[in-house]
């Protein structure tokens, strides 16, 4: 049962991260020059059209960090054990996808290629830690309430 729960958590986290990154790329209408919503079939044309525009890659890094943070939070909320480890897995998978993007399409600037390593892992770790801290506080609060509600024996 934990395997299915963990798999669902990872898939949900990846979906949230991909959705945030995709919506972040669409934030500036001058970057998107195609009519229909098909980001993967037009990705090479998009990268060619934004060559030399560092603002696109900065936005991509920002929304990538935001995406893996919220993806890590969603994953850590769903899995039962090793919340931070599964959140970091989201960062690893997204980093792998970004590295494939860099290998397949050579249009990325050097600062982007370096920065993805500094963005994906720490921000996914932060997402897992956020959930871990919140769940630890809830457990502590529940334990305090339980102790408070117990009547002292005389």
Spell out the domain ranges in the chain.
2-149
pLDDT tens across the length of the chain (154 residues): 789 999 999 999 999 999 998 888 877 766 666 555 555 666 777 777 777 778 888 888 999 999 999 999 999 999 988 889 999 999 999 999 999 988 988 888 889 889 999 999 899 999 999 999 998 999 999 888 888 888 666 5
How far, in Å, CA of 7 to CA of 78, rounded?
Answer: 10
How far, in Å, CA of 102 to CA of 97, rounded?
Answer: 9
Are 49 and 33 contacting, i.e. CB atoms less than 8 angstroms apart?
yes
Q: Given this model, what pLDDT does residue 24 score?
A: 84
> Where does residue 22 fall: left (phi above 0), alpha (psi -120 to 50 degrees), or beta otherwise?
alpha
Q: Given this model, what pLDDT does residue 41 score?
A: 66
Helix (H) or strand (E) holding 36: none
Q: Given this model, what pLDDT does residue 36 score?
A: 58
Query: Which residues, other chains included, contact 126 with Cβ-Cβ below 8 Å and sequence gap of 6+?
Result: 69, 72
Q: Given this model, what pLDDT does residue 106 score?
A: 82
Whether the pTM exceeds 0.85: the reply is: no
């Amino acid at each position: 049962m934990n395997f299915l729960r963990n798999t669902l958590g990872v898939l949900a986290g990846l979906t949230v991260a991909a959705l945030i990154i995709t919506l972040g790329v669409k934030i500036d209408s001058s970057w998107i020059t195609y009519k229909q919503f098909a980001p993967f079939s037009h990705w090479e044309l998009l990268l060619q059209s934004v060559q030399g525009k560092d603002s696109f890659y900065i936005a991509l890094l920002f929304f990538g960090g935001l995406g893996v943070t919220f993806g890590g939070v969603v994953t850590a909320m769903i899995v039962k054990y090793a919340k931070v480890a599964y959140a970091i897995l989201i960062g690893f998978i997204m980093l792998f996808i970004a590295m494939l993007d860099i290998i397949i399409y050579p249009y990325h600037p050097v600062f982007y290629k370096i920065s993805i390593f500094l963005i994906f892992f720490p921000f996914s770790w932060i997402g897992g830690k956020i959930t871990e801290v919140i769940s630890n506080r809830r457990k502590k609060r529940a334990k305090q309430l339980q102790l408070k509600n117990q009547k002292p024996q005389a």
